[in-house]
Amino acid sequence: MTFLRNNLLGIFICFLVALPAWLLGQRFPVVGGAVLAILFGMVITSVWREHGTAQPGINWTSKIVLQAAVVLLGFGMNLGVIVKTGIFSLPIILSTITTSLVVAWVLHRWLKISRNTSALIGVGSSICGGSAIAAAAPVVKADSNEIAQSVSVIFLFNALAALLFPLLGHLIGFDTTSGEAFGIFAGTAINDTSSVTAAAATWDSMWGLGTQTLDEAVTVKLTRALAIIPITLLLALLMAKKEANQTEGGSLASFSYKRAFPMFILYFVLAAVFTTVCLQAGIGGEVFQPLKELAKFFIVMAMAAIGLNSNVVTLIKSGGKPILLGACCWISITLVSLLVQHFLGIW
């Protein structure tokens, strides 16, 4: 009862902000509900500056609901299909992820962007956009402004990719009788699932390929999404060791792998394993569809809370460098994906 008394109002407000954002996101998937929820939250908080008794519930939503969303995403993963189809694209996936993380790390130092913002943009660009940011944000202890800024940057280049990549694929000579080449390209070079599906569906429509490209792109994208697990664990270890150094004056005596391990990632893996076992046993994938939809709504709800906690003036003032970082990550991923595909003879 104490929990409800302290948090219910804030949680309910986040729900009210998230609901129209989620519905509009269904209608305009390239924009997506998460970005709309952040924008709605920012607009509301520019007028309603002091949240009063709603603040604890808003904070709880931005953290715990975000982690719950990541766990529920695991129910959308069939590890067997991903491994079987994803092995072929694995060299490209590893190359693009490594490239984005290295670019983010280098430019973080050169552009003097906050460590958390750089990490979130690098992870979001390299893995799966908002979902990867949702997984990494609690681990690196990013604040609402850092999360909002990272999601906004990722959205910008998601939208550009969805619009431009089908044209780019045609210009550089991708095979138009099969969806394999463009599907792998979309799945490895576009970070958010909504934009991956938008670009792949456009390619299918352009060349009358049914769902060939879409099926290929989504499978590659899901394979890439599995990188959330090792990347998040690595970030957790780095953060925990850094905190141990700071608290112990350079000693790692207080470092604990158990404390550093983000438990919600373990639950994410267990959810994926459970889904895989059920599918192997003959249970239809449609059974898990409500959980996947709930995960998407939880992300939108958490983004509403983050928007309510964000300072729009600060975001505008500091927006140039993160956008430049996002552009560099996006361009480098695109080029590396094309180069590795060409080297492997895919196009």
pLDDT in tens, 42-78: 899 989 988 899 999 999 998 899 888 878 878 877 7
Higher pLDDT, 296 or 45: 45
User: pLDDT (tens digit, 9 = 90+) per residue, 130-178?
Assistant: 778 888 888 888 888 899 889 888 888 887 888 789 999 999 999 999 8
- The alpha carbon torsion through 112, 116, 121, 122 (nearest 10 deg) reads 90
Closest CA to 74 of 267, 315, 231, 329: 267
Residue 234 lies in a domain: yes
Q: What pLDDT is attached to residue 259? A: 56
Residue 40 lies in a domain: no
Q: Sorting pLDDT into bands at 50, 70 and 90, what band is 289?
A: confident
Residue 59 lies in a domain: no
Q: What pLDDT is attached to residue 158? A: 83
Q: What pLDDT is attached to residue 26? A: 82
Q: What pLDDT is attached to residue 247? A: 60
Residue 249 lies in a domain: yes
Residue 66 lies in a domain: no
Residue 82 lies in a domain: yes
Q: C-alpha angle 61/66/70, rounded to 5°?
A: 155
Q: What pLDDT is attached to residue 322? A: 92
| pLDDT higher than threshold 90 for residue 4 | no
Higher pLDDT, 223 or 98: 98
Q: What pLDDT is attached to residue 292? A: 80
3-state secondary structure of 87: coil
Q: What pLDDT is attached to residue 86? A: 66
Mean local confidence (pLDDT), 238-244: 74
Q: CA-to-CA distance for 224 and 130, rounded, in angstroms?
A: 14
Token output for 69: 């969303």
Q: What is this structure's pTM?
A: 0.76
Residue 151 lies in a domain: yes
Q: What pLDDT is attached to residue 92? A: 87
**What mean pLDDT, rounded, does the chain reach?**
84
- The total number of structural domains in the chain stands at 1
Residue 69 lies in a domain: no
Mean local confidence (pLDDT), 3-27: 92
Domain that holds residue 329: 75-295+313-344
Mean local confidence (pLDDT), 294-306: 88
